[in-house]
Amino acid sequence: MNAETELKFRLAPRKLSSILRDGALNGRHSDRSEQALVSTYYDTSKQKLRRHGLTLRVRKVGDRYVQTVKADGSGAATRGEWGHEVAGARPDLTKVKNTPLADLASKKLPRKLRPVFRTEVHRTTEARRVRRSQIELAVDRGRIGAGRRSRLVAELELELKSGQIADLFRLARNVERKTGAELDLRSKAERGFQLVTGNGAGAQYAERVELKRELSPRNAFGVIAHSTLRQITANADPVRDMDSEGVHQMRVGLRRLRAAISLFSDILPRASTERIKAELKWLTGELAPAREIDVFLKESILPIADQGVPNRGARAISEKFSTERGAAFARAREAVESPRYRRLLIDVIEWIETGQPRADDDRSIAGYAAAVLDRRIRKARKQGKHLDDLDPIQRHKLRIKIKKIRYAVDFFKSLYSDRDQKQLANLSDQLKQIQSALGSLNDFMTHRELATETALAAPPANRRALAFASGFIVGRDREAARGLMKTAAGELHRLHRLHITPGK
């Protein structure tokens, strides 16, 4: 097996040529090589290989055919890769011994495999010397095709051939600074499957996290952090398109990553983690107004026109917040188009890949997960007994605690046996109800502030109309809050610790 340590970037096709110009980047380089690569990716009709985290391709290189099996790695930059030369364009499963595909290679599998999509790429490569490390720089231009659908390929790969991973990131930062290249965590295989299913556009949702029980807590954190970062980066284009669900899903990805940092806080290096937390908080803050105003407009403002509010007031408050919504979404778009965002992605991946735990730890993630869930559920239940006495800030903090437990359940779900999944599902449902109720209460507080500010700052011509509409919203939300408090209190009372242990 080869462990492939690489970083992939996407950038404007017109900038690809500048990557290869002499002096464009630091590092001594050797002669270039150029290849035409035609690759066909295979899977079953139900995408069995993909569901197991594997890809199988046969690539034509000149007169040769090379079959490659790839497996998702535990980190953002490293994946397992097994390659063998084969006789022709069809896969040869006799060559998959000692690869993860061997466990799936039944007698029926060769008959079930079919070509799913194809890539045609012109690749230009150079070997770069950065300090004492050898890094291959590859520029790919071409196309991914699946039936009548196709998508352009314009990307750069940096692969560490020998030396220190820190030098790989050193070159990556130089590339970003000089070309505006943006880290892309999707492989060509993933983009091909998205093309096949038609799921490549629009908001992208969290993927299932798969953990092996024998992993250390630090390595398990790497798997989780990588998954959350994929959700963040996958929604960059929807945010640029001012897609409200894309903004929401990028925020979800950020919250999941921040929750994971909190759940594993006792093992993560303090200084570098604090720096990453600060940057994640910055990006979350740039997206927050877009989400808050979007929810306020859709859930509180637009419905009032059918609830007895005079048209003048409903129209005035709707126009005001529609304008503010546009400005907030433009702010979110500017954030993900900024150099700071591009640097953040590189910083987070380097932190995931190279951060060392604070001390030696011989625990498995199974025991660690059980302890984390037990401790956090006990604390949340204890605080929930006094829900009626909590002020809005304290309720908000409790909501965040509940959200972290819910994310922890999602992160650790694969560690539990099939017979325990029902208990996990019930716990997750409880947590969702509590989170939803407390979240709505928090939204009401935000909406009250927005509505009150609107009424007080309204111009004389619309002051009475806006004041009436704002007062209506505040009064309606106050009435709804009573029911939400009752729901949250009831579910918190029924919240119990898990009576199951991962792996048993």
pLDDT value of position 452:
63
Percent of residues, the chain, with pLDDT higher than 90: 59
Of 167, 184, 200, which residue sits at a domain end? 200
Q: Is 44 part of a structural domain of the chain?
A: yes
Q: Are residues 195 and 256 part of one domain?
A: no
pLDDT at 278 over 80: yes
pLDDT value of position 247:
97
The Cα-based distances of 8 to 153, 211, 371, 426, 427 in angstroms read 12, 24, 37, 40, 38
Question: What confidence tens digit (pLDDT) does each residue in 307-344 have?
Answer: 566 666 667 777 888 899 999 999 999 999 999 999 99
Q: Is 233 part of a structural domain of the chain?
A: no
Q: Are residues 274 and 125 part of one domain?
A: no
pLDDT at 235 over 70: yes
pLDDT value of position 12:
86
Q: Is 474 part of a structural domain of the chain?
A: yes
pLDDT at 94 over 80: yes
pLDDT value of position 80:
81
Tokens of 187: 């492989």
Q: Is the pTM of this model over 0.95?
A: no
Q: Are residues 251 and 109 part of one domain?
A: no
Angle at 76 between CA 74 and CA 78, to 5 degrees: 65
Domain of residue 311 covers 246-494
Tokens of 198: 């038609």
Q: Are residues 471 and 329 part of one domain?
A: yes
In the chain, the number of structural domains is 2
Q: Are residues 463 and 323 part of one domain?
A: yes
How confident is residue 499, by pLDDT bands cut at 50, 70 and 90? confident
Question: What confidence tens digit (pLDDT) does each residue in 420-476 have?
Answer: 999 999 999 999 999 988 888 777 667 666 666 665 566 665 656 556 566 566 565
pLDDT value of position 395:
87
Q: Is 301 part of a structural domain of the chain?
A: yes
Q: Are residues 191 and 251 part of one domain?
A: no
Q: Are residues 175 and 286 part of one domain?
A: no
Q: Is 224 part of a structural domain of the chain?
A: no
Q: Are residues 296 and 168 part of one domain?
A: no
Query: CATH number of the domain that 282 lies in?
Result: 1.40.20.10
Q: Is 190 part of a structural domain of the chain?
A: yes
Q: Is 216 part of a structural domain of the chain?
A: no
Q: Are residues 192 and 119 part of one domain?
A: yes
Task: Please tell me the distance from the alpha carbon of residue 366 to that of residue 379, in angstroms, as a whole number.
Answer: 21
Q: Is 175 part of a structural domain of the chain?
A: yes
Question: What confidence tens digit (pLDDT) does each residue in 32-43 have?
Answer: 899 999 999 999
How confident is residue 228, by pLDDT bands cut at 50, 70 and 90? very high
pLDDT at 268 over 90: yes
Q: Are residues 188 and 268 part of one domain?
A: no
Q: How many residues does the chain have?
A: 504
pLDDT value of position 459:
62
pLDDT value of position 438:
87
Q: Are residues 93 and 25 part of one domain?
A: yes
Which of 46-55, 272-281, 458-467 has maximum average pLDDT? Answer: 272-281
Can you tell me the mean pLDDT for 394-416? 94
Percent of residues, the chain, with pLDDT higher than 70: 85
Task: Please tell me the distance from the alpha carbon of residue 460 to that of residue 302, in angstroms, as a whole number.
Answer: 23
Tokens of 113: 């495999």
Q: Is the dihedral of CA 252, 258, 261, 263 positive or negative?
A: negative
Q: Are residues 104 and 15 part of one domain?
A: yes
Tokens of 410: 């999602």
The Cα-based distances of 81 to 55, 130, 205, 390 in angstroms read 10, 24, 27, 53
Contact present, 293 and 329 (Cβ < 8 Å) = no
Query: CATH number of the domain that 12 lies in?
Result: 2.40.320.10
Question: What confidence tens digit (pLDDT) does each residue in 355-376 have?
Answer: 776 666 678 899 999 999 999 9
Q: What is the dihedral of CA 296, 297, 299, 302, to 10 degrees?
A: 150
Question: What confidence tens digit (pLDDT) does each residue in 155-208 have?
Answer: 999 999 999 999 999 999 999 999 999 999 988 998 999 899 887 678 999 999
